[in-house]
Amino acid sequence: MTQNAGGAKTVRSVASRREFLRRGGKVTLGAVLAGAVVPAVHAGEDNTIRLALIGTGGRGGGAVANALSAPGGPVQLYAMADLKQNRMESSYTSLKNQFGEKVDVPESRRFLGFDAYQKAIDCLQPGDVAMLTAFAYCRPTHLEYAVRKGVNVFMEKSFAADPGGLHRMLRAGEEADKKNLKIAAGLMCRHSTARQEMIARIRDGAMGELQLIRASRMWGGGGIGKRNPNVSELMWQIDHRGAFLWVTSGNMIEMLIHQIDECCWLKDSWPVAAHGLGGRVPRSTDCGQNLDIYAMEYTFADGTKALVNSRSISKSFEDFATYVHGTKCAAQFSGNIHAPTVHAYKDQRIDPANIDWRAAKEPDSPWQAE
């Protein structure tokens, strides 16, 4: 990853870091955030990696906390942007209390409004990192601007709210490649050492040929009531992001993206076909756009199926897990709230008494490793 620190720099120091990381080639965003791979090429050089947080909600603050907690360094939160003053101030106060001097965001670098992302990214130097954790409806615009400005990117899911947005993301990725910029996506399950261990076993043939993958996320009912007349229609919909398809693509993408990605990882390929069903509870008072049930059947090139289901209905059976079935045995690949519940069974029976192998305990959470 290209690394240039923000703030006052000599031309020589900025160029030296750019040249070092250009030669370094394949450097991951996580490694750069950790600071472990960026030596002081010149004595006295400031190698601080500055972050701009765009979207200061819970996951955004958590992502910054993960970055500032990483070994190595130095990493500094340098700018923030959001639509809501109270949310940004709460996030700033919490991070400042936790990390002290690693959070250097005076009021002059805390920006509010729909154009705040531009002002925050403009505070960075080429090679610093924009952390894009606002909702999917604005992600393509934010990513395009970050790439145009020559900064690296960490971005949370979901990545776009519609196919047009996804095409814009892909084009921005191509532009980032041309500039030797790095974009890291918030699919933290890929960083799970327990899951990686299971993937290695599958690739080595321990499960035989994969025949079926099952992923379910079934939870209690939700939904939203009527809008408070004191809140604008626009902000009400953004505040209830999961309920409106234009904001985050709704529950199917927002809630199932990790498990859909797990299915593709298990198969080491993309599906070639997909068929889906959906339904809604009769006489529902939910004012959102989500269906209450989603069921997708993905087909891979060799005919293997992945069945992905979600349900959000009160007083119903709840399940949150991913299972994979091979010709030799079955295995669990993930558990509740993406827990690294990873083990193999003796045969096809999904039963705790039938477990034949367990993955080693993970040293760090996937979010921290990410």
Tell me the domain boundaries of the chain.
Answer: 11-186, 190-369
Peptide bond into 74 cis (omega under 30): yes
- Dump the DSSP string for 229-292: TTS-HHHHHHHTGGG-HHHH-HHHHHHHHHHHHHHHHHHTS--SEEEEEEE--TT----SS--S
Peptide bond into 158 cis (omega under 30): yes
Highest mean pLDDT among 58-67, 130-139, 241-250 belongs to 130-139
Which of 49-53, 177-181, 223-227, 239-243 is predicted least confidently?
223-227
Give how far Cα 3 sits from Cα of 19, 35, 82, 99, 301, Å: 9, 10, 25, 22, 40
Phi, psi (deg, nearest 5) at residue 66: -60, -45
Phi, psi (deg, nearest 5) at residue 357: -155, 140
As a whole number of angstroms, the distance between CA 53 and CA 95 comes to 12
Q: How confident is the model at residue 21 (pLDDT cuts 50, 70, 90)?
A: very low
Check pLDDT > 80 for residue 45: no
267-279 pLDDT per residue, tens? 999 999 999 999 9
CATH architecture of 11-186: 3-Layer(aba) Sandwich (3.40)
Check pLDDT > 90 for residue 16: no
Check pLDDT > 90 for residue 225: no
How many residues does the structure list for the chain? 370
Q: What amino acid occupies position 240?
A: H
> Is the C-alpha dihedral spanning 190, 195, 196, 202 positive or negative?
negative
Query: Averaged over 170-188, what is the pLDDT?
Result: 94
| pLDDT at 33 (0 to 100) | 55
> Is the C-alpha dihedral spanning 158, 197, 67, 100 positive or negative?
positive
Q: How confident is the model at residue 258 (pLDDT cuts 50, 70, 90)?
A: very high
As a whole number of angstroms, the distance between CA 362 and CA 263 comes to 21
In the chain, % of residues over pLDDT 90: 66
Find the angle CA(141)-CA(32)-CA(54) to the nearest 5 degrees.
30
Q: Give the CATH fold of the 190-369 domain.
A: Dihydrodipicolinate Reductase; domain 2 (3.30.360)
Confirm if 335 and 236 have CB atoms less than 8 A apart.
no
293-331 pLDDT per residue, tens? 999 999 999 999 999 999 988 888 889 999 999 999 999
| pLDDT at 370 (0 to 100) | 60
Find the angle CA(104)-CA(4)-CA(155) to the nearest 5 degrees.
70
Phi, psi (deg, nearest 5) at residue 195: -65, -40
Q: How confident is the model at residue 369 (pLDDT cuts 50, 70, 90)?
A: low
| pLDDT at 36 (0 to 100) | 31
Q: Starting from the edge strand earliest in sequence, which strands make up the sheet with 129-132, in order?
A: 110-112, 75-82, 49-54, 129-132, 152-156, 183-186
Q: How confident is the model at residue 105 (pLDDT cuts 50, 70, 90)?
A: very high
Say whether pTM exceeds 0.85. Answer: no
Confirm if 258 and 338 have CB atoms less than 8 A apart.
yes
Check pLDDT > 80 for residue 115: yes
Phi, psi (deg, nearest 5) at residue 232: -65, 155
Q: What is the mean pLDDT of the chain?
A: 86
Helix (H) or strand (E) holding 186: strand 183-186
Q: How confident is the model at residue 72 (pLDDT cuts 50, 70, 90)?
A: low
As a whole number of angstroms, the distance between CA 320 and CA 218 comes to 6
Check pLDDT > 90 for residue 64: yes
